[in-house]
Amino acid sequence: MPKIIMGIESSCDETGVGLVRLHDDGAVELLADEVASSVDQHARFGGVVPEIASRAHMEAMVPTADRAFEKAGLKLSDVDAIAVTAGPGLSGALLVGVSAAKAYAAALGVPLYGVNHLAGHIAVDTLQHGPLPTPCLGLLVSGGHTQLLRIDDIASSITELGSTVDDAAGEAYDKVARVLGLPYPGGPPIDKAAKEGDPKAIAFPRGMTGPRDAKFDFSFSGLKTAVARWIEAAERRGDDIPVNDVAASFQEAVADVLTAKAVKAAKELGIDTMVISGGVAANSRLSGLAAERCEAAGITLRVPRPRLCTDNGAMIAALGAHVVAAGRPPSSLDLSANPALPVSVVSF
């Protein structure tokens, strides 16, 4: 019997509720994906303010769930299992989703699965491109995470190969956008400006690429500082800031490091499928360069469509479906969110 899985996401600034159908053959079909974002409320602060995000989750949770059921043409009583982001993320924000998910599970009498947000970013790709070959390599890039993952089983076995030692790639975009006078969040406006600029105009540093650096870790803090210094120096000289060239050169440095390390990891581990997900996956240069380099290396590249890459409930429902299909045990109703949940814990 096919099963309906409801997914609830509230780890950062998007309140997401997704519904999927898990078919008997293990295929997972997307039925609804509703998101309420509080991004506009954070814009003037230049980053996500946890308390504002939590307040917005509280207001949006039930209306977003309502919309999801309406879209899918389902009733709450059709749900067979509930999956919720139990970490990592902002603790006050996670608490709203986890509290609601427990209440839904208790009221509907269905099992609850506390699942890992990072694993959800990879699992979501199965909604668009079908089952994941394993092992596969995951590159997660967003405002909150920058990680290189080895996935041996999406429901139970994920290993972190490397991650950022300081800022997430998306954070660097936000900060560089700010010094360039571009709006928050920084990804889309920098991508747009970069299209008009020369990526080779300025040689910005490639972080963590020295011979003694950890092979699969990333660092974007030095790059961000280099951009700011470059702009300050230009201002001191009284030069106009070539915003498009700075944006293009910055973006090139980010995309270069991310794709070079991901391809290197795939080759070294003998992995021939790569999934790139997270909010920054929608960046045109990142996906373009990844496509080029994967093709040259004989790696199949999978990038979910932008709507699925950003935080949403569908990714949590999709992961929940794989966890259910694998027969993993459900969570207890005294589940508490873990803001620092490691990616190796797919569900708990």
Partner 1 sequence: MLVLALDTSTPAITAGVVQLDDTRLEVLAEQVTLNARAHGELLTPHLLEAVNAADITLAQLDAIVVGVGPGPFTGLRAGMATAAALGHALGIPVHPVCGLDAIAIQAEHGAPLLVATDARRREVYWAAYDAEARRVDGPHVDKPAELKPEAKTAAGEGAELYADVLGLEVIGPRFPSPAGLVAAARDSFGKEPEPLTPLYLRRPDAVEPTARKRVTA
Q: Which stretch binds partner 1 (CB under 8 A): 89-97, 114-122, 146-154, 320-328?
A: 89-97
CA–CA gap between residue 235 and residue 147 (Å, rounded)? 35
Please check if 320 is assigned to a binding site: no
CA–CA gap between residue 197 and residue 284 (Å, rounded)? 14
Please check if 167 is assigned to a binding site: no
Residues 252-311 that bind partner 1 (CB under 8 A): none
Please check if 277 is assigned to a binding site: no
User: Does residue 62 bind partner 1 (CB under 8 A)?
Assistant: yes
Q: Count CB-CB contacts under 10 A for residue 12.
A: 28
Residues 93-152 that bind partner 1 (CB under 8 A): 95-104, 106-108
Among 27, 39, 58, 74, binds partner 1 (CB under 8 A): 58
> In this structure, what are the phi and psi dihedrals at residue 265, rounded to the nearest 5 degrees?
-65, -45
CA distances from 297 to 13, 149, 156, 273 (A): 36, 18, 28, 11
Q: Is the dihedral of CA 70, 75, 78, 83 positive or negative?
A: positive
User: Does residue 46 bind partner 1 (CB under 8 A)?
Assistant: yes
Sequence-separated contacts (24+) of 149-154 with Cβ below 8 Å: 149/118, 149/122, 149/343, 150/265, 150/269, 150/271, 151/122, 151/275, 153/326, 154/119, 154/122, 154/123, 154/126, 154/319, 154/322, 154/346
Among partner 1, Zn ion, none, residue 311 binds (CB under 5-8 Å by kind): Zn ion
With respect to partner 1, which residue has the nearer C-beta, 184 or 216? 184
Query: Least Å distance between CB 82 and partner 1?
Result: 10
User: Does residue 13 bind Zn ion (CB under 5 A)?
Assistant: no
- Residue 163 β-bridge partners: 147
Residues 172-211 that bind partner 1 (CB under 8 A): 178-179
User: Does residue 256 bind Zn ion (CB under 5 A)?
Assistant: no
Please check if 143 is assigned to a binding site: yes
- Contacting positions for partner 1 (CB under 8 A): 44-46, 49, 51-52, 54-55, 57-58, 61-62, 65-66, 76, 91-92, 95-104, 106-108, 178-179, 225, 228-229, 232, 333-337
